[in-house]
Chain A
């Protein structure tokens, strides 16, 4: 079946640094990928829709200059958290649609 791979699964970084998270569709091409964020004890909220070859579409309240999304190929989307701060600590998860929706295993980001 379709598989979405996300890397890294967890990362700890210092405040002010940038972190890149990769999302790959392993056995299918995904023209669109979705990035979600989940704060502790909360639901998953859509951050942005990543479109291959064009700019991402961000949800209201999500800073596009802080959360840089690049969808350079049909199998890879990256989310870069720039100048990370402790309040950016969260669980980030990507997904891609092939018929149904398939999720990566998520990335737990801790900013110290």
Chain B
């Protein structure tokens, strides 16, 4: 089974400042990793995903994440945030084989302050 830990439940940051949202995972098998964003009263939007290959993954809206197998981490970063980035961010993991569900972290609320 897989599990995900998002270390920060809330992250306030000033506009145009950089941000890192932390995510660590646990799994006995190889996995795929995802970051989703959820705006208020909306569904999930995929930001980026790591399936294989380069450990640095670039996603939408200027976000990127780096897969670190030795540290079992998949931290999300953005060099300069905007007010519109205020949302809930979920890290998720899934086994790379079989028909298994996605396991989500508890989420990190990013609040961008003007």
Interface residues of A, Cβ cutoff 8 Å to B: 31-32, 34, 36, 42-46, 49, 93, 95, 97, 100-101, 103-106, 108
Contact = CB atoms under 8 A, between A and B. Distances in A.
Contacts, number: 40
21 contacts: A34-B101, A34-B102, A42-B107, A43-B106, A43-B107, A46-B101, A46-B103, A49-B101, A93-B43, A93-B44, A100-B32, A100-B51, A101-B34, A101-B94, A101-B101, A101-B102, A103-B43, A104-B43, A105-B43, A106-B42, A108-B41
Nearest to A93: B43
Contacts of B51: 100
B32 to A, nearest CB: 7
A44 B104 contact: yes
